[in-house]
């Protein structure tokens, strides 16, 4: 939405295509906040934000891209506020900022613990104000590449059925992440990596797909996230003996160490028998009812509803869950891919701001800053190109119709949900917080087996109207392709860096592996290439906590 608003401001014709109503997008679930070095709580600067992000990325983030985001973030926050975002305030009236993991200063601007919800509604209002056309509940099924450049996309009308061609000189993918590839995940049901698979099949490499971040505090019953804001406000993590076990793994940062470190510490605690029913305990009781009710009301509600626990009185059982995918469509600092006319921004993209590990609060900022930049660059490109008019041939639409109708009518084979579940369990167990050559080989074999099995699917609903069976089948193909890229990249990367933790290669190996993985479509299979990381100011140093 931020990209669409900016492109519209350039004076070009813009439409948003979304498989959900825009305000139901997954961003609405973001709780904790959005990072910008405003320096309202303590002294802070874009340089310090840049350093923390580079370090957090385990030196895999491109430092030019990180510098841009950290420099432009404060202006973007003020603009969001002017658009109508109601952020929480400090006693002196300025925007409040809370501490977040691995940040050198309290830098996270927030609206209580419903930041994403607030932002997504403000942006939707702006879409309406700017009179941007929205094709909602249209599922994009393919990009159209004509003579080497993007000419638009094909979409299935979920509500009424039927394939539509949407001709466009420029397409910006903003389709979000792929957390649903994993069994325990904080991601919404719709986060199935569609945009990554669309770009991959069109010939754009996917970058650093092996890096999936696990969030340390998710509920066991359904993967729902309990925000890092809880630890930012002073929450403790304890094992079954009441011990604050982070003292062993990160004696300085403790609970506010970066997410990869905390997730690994929890995983070890649980594996070594010091957990409670497959979880550790997030203790907020010492914060007192007033702070919990004013600063963390959403988290309290989630704990009450889904874990049956009131955090004012007792700790919340939590465990690591797949949360944020650092990898994505390989784009430059304006969001442009190698295919003219095809761009990407937000979680679907890999600029790369987050490298091997994202810092909490940086991804909402990336969606805004890089969304705005992609919208501006694509909008200006349209103006400069003059009378370029993308066209989609009727035959292309007819082919897509045939493909989707064949899938719609298929009644021999397996149910998509069965394969989806098999995939998610295998990824959580074999390509999760800790990985080895053996587990990754098993995961890859499983993904290949599932890709084969998914050639024959059984759809129970053969109708045109609101056919969620069809949508889930399409999402399954995207999940499987993304999973193949993830495990293939993870198997090749013989080191531990950020969220990619190999028990058989426990150290970071800058000599061999300080480079980006590129996974390219090669006759349906994954081909790996590499490209260098951009280093501007910060030479890699070994992390300490």
Ligand X SMILES: Cc1cc2nc3c(=O)[nH]c(=O)nc-3n(C[C@H](O)[C@H](O)[C@H](O)COP(=O)(O)OP(=O)(O)OC[C@H]3O[C@@H](n4cnc5c(N)ncnc54)[C@H](O)[C@@H]3O)c2cc1C
Active-site amino acid positions: 259
Site stretch for ligand X (CB under 6 A), options 53-61, 288-296, 329-337, 359-367: 359-367
- Smallest CA-to-CA distance from 211 within 339, 79, 342, 350 is with 350
Under rule CB under 6 A, residue 361 binds ligand X: yes
Residue among 324 and 513 whose Cβ is closer to ligand X: 324
Under rule CB under 6 A, residue 258 binds ligand X: no
Residue among 19 and 373 whose Cβ is closer to ligand X: 19
- Taking the complex as a whole, the smallest distance from the CB of residue 25 to ligand X amounts, in Å, to 3
Q: Which of 49, 117, 180, 323 binds ligand X (CB under 6 A)?
A: 323
3-state SS string for 502-525: ECCECCCCHHHHCEEEEEEEECCE
Separation CA 325–CA 258 (nearest Å): 15
- Smallest CA-to-CA distance from 103 within 228, 1, 211 is with 228
Residue among 330 and 347 whose Cβ is closer to ligand X: 347
Q: Which of 322, 333, 364, 483 binds ligand X (CB under 6 A)?
A: 364
What region, left, alpha or beta, does residue 361 occupy, with left being phi > 0 and alpha being psi -120 to 50 degrees?
left
Residue among 326 and 447 whose Cβ is closer to ligand X: 326
| Residue 283 · residue 235 · CB < 8 Å | yes
Under rule CB under 6 A, residue 370 binds ligand X: no
Strand partners for 316: 282
Residue 527, phi then psi, degrees to nearest 5: -110, 135
Q: Which of residues 104-133 bind ligand X (CB under 6 A)?
A: 115-116
Strand partners for 328: 207
Q: How many residues bind ligand X (CB under 6 A)?
A: 40
- Smallest CA-to-CA distance from 141 within 120, 111, 116, 161 is with 161
- Pair type for strands 316-325 and 212-218: antiparallel
Task: Count Cβ atoms below 10 Å from residue 275 Cβ, excluding itself.
Answer: 20
Q: Which of 5, 6, 14, 18 binds ligand X (CB under 6 A)?
A: 18
- Taking the complex as a whole, the smallest distance from the CB of residue 330 to ligand X amounts, in Å, to 16
Rounded (10°) CA dihedral 25, 26, 27, 31:
140
Question: Looking at the chain, how many residues does it have?
Answer: 545
Classified as helix, coil or strand, 4 is helix
Q: Which of 211, 324, 477, 513 binds ligand X (CB under 6 A)?
A: 324
Under rule CB under 6 A, residue 363 binds ligand X: yes
Residue among 69 and 191 whose Cβ is closer to ligand X: 191
- Taking the complex as a whole, the smallest distance from the CB of residue 197 to ligand X amounts, in Å, to 9
275-278 contacts, C-beta under 8 A, 24 or more apart? 275/239, 275/240, 275/319, 276/239, 276/240, 276/317, 277/220, 277/317, 278/220, 278/319
Site stretch for ligand X (CB under 6 A), options 242-250, 277-285, 311-319, 354-362: 354-362
Classified as helix, coil or strand, 346 is coil
Residue 138, phi then psi, degrees to nearest 5: -115, 120
Q: Which of 5, 7, 14, 30 binds ligand X (CB under 6 A)?
A: 30
Q: Which of residues 207-246 bind ligand X (CB under 6 A)?
A: 225
Per-residue contact flags (x/-) with ligand X for residues 501 to 540, judged by CB under 6 A: ----------------------------------------
Separation CA 300–CA 100 (nearest Å): 19
Residue among 139 and 430 whose Cβ is closer to ligand X: 139
Separation CA 399–CA 389 (nearest Å): 22
Under rule CB under 6 A, residue 139 binds ligand X: yes
First to last CA, the chain: 37
Q: Which of residues 167-206 bind ligand X (CB under 6 A)?
A: 174-177, 186-187, 190-191, 194-195
- Taking the complex as a whole, the smallest distance from the CB of residue 343 to ligand X amounts, in Å, to 13
Residue among 477 and 505 whose Cβ is closer to ligand X: 477
Residue among 323 and 497 whose Cβ is closer to ligand X: 323
Site stretch for ligand X (CB under 6 A), options 49-57, 340-348, 410-418, 419-427: 340-348
Site stretch for ligand X (CB under 6 A), options 311-319, 363-371, 516-524, 530-538: 363-371
Binding site for ligand X (CB under 6 A): 17-20, 22, 25-27, 29-34, 115-116, 139-140, 174-177, 186-187, 190-191, 194-195, 225, 323-324, 346-348, 360-364, 367
């Amino acid at each position: 939405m931020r990209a669409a608003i900016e492109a519209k401001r350039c004076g070009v014709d813009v439409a948003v295509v979304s498989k959900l109503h825009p305000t139901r997008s997954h961003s609405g679930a973001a709780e904790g906040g959005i990072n910008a070095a405003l320096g309202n709580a303590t002294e802070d600067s874009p340089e310090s934000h840049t350093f923390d992000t580079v370090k957090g990325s385990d030196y895999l983030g491109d430092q030019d891209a990180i510098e841009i985001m950290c420099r432009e973030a404060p202006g973007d926050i003020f603009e969001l506020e002017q658009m109508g975002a109601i952020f929480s305030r400090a006693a002196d009236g300025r925007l409040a900022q809370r501490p977040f993991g691995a940040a050198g200063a309290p830098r996270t601007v927030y609206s209580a613990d419903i930041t994403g919800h607030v932002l997504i509604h403000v942006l939707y209002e702006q879409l309406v104000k700017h009179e941007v056309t929205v094709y909602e509940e249209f599922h994009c099924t393919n990009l159209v590449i004509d003579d080497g450049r993007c000419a638009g996309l094909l979409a299935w009308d979920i509500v009424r059925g039927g394939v539509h061609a949407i001709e466009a000189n420029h397409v910006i993918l903003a389709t979000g992440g792929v957390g649903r590839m994993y069994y325990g995940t904080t991601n919404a049901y719709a986060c199935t990596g569609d945009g990554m698979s669309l770009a991959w099949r069109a010939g754009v490499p996917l970058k650093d797909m092996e890096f999936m971040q696990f969030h340390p505090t998710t509920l066991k019953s359904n993967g729902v996230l309990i925000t890092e804001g809880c630890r930012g406000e002073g929450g403790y993590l304890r094992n079954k003996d009441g011990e604050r076990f982070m003292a062993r793994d990160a004696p300085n940062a403790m609970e506010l160490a970066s997410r990869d470190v905390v997730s690994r510490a929890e995983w070890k605690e649980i594996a070594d028998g010091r957990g409670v029913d497959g979880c550790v305990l997030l203790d907020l009781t010492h914060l007192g009812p007033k702070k919990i009710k004013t600063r963390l009301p959403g988290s309290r509600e989630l704990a009450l509803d889904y874990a049956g626990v009131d955090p004012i009185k007792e700790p919340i059982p939590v465990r690591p869950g797949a949360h944020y995918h650092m990898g994505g469509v390989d784009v430059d600092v304006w969001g442009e891919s190698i295919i003219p006319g095809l761009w990407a921004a937000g979680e679907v993209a890999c600029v790369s701001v987050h490298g091997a590990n994202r810092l909490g609060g940086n991804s909402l900022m990336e969606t805004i800053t890089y969304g705005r930049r992609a919208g501006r660059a694509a909008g200006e490109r349209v103006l400069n190109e003059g009378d370029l008019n993308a066209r989609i041939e009727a035959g292309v639409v007819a082919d897509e119709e045939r493909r989707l109708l064949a899938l719609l009518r298929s009644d021999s084979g397996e149910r998509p949900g069965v394969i989806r579940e098999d995939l998610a369990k295998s990824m959580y167990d074999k390509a999760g917080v800790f990985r080895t050559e053996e587990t990754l080989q098993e995961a890859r074999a499983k993904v290949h087996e599932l890709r084969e099995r998914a050639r024959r699917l059984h759809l129970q609903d053969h109708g045109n109207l609101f056919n969620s069976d069809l949508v889930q089948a399409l999402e399954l193909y995207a999940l499987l392709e993304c999973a193949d890229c993830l495990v293939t990249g993870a198997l090749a990367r013989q080191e531990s860096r950020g969220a990619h933790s190999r028990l058989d290669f426990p150290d970071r190996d800058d000599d061999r592996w300080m480079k980006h993985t590129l996974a390219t479509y090669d006759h349906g299979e994954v081909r790996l290439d590499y490209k260098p990381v951009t280093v501007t100011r910060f030479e890699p140093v070994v992390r300490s906590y």
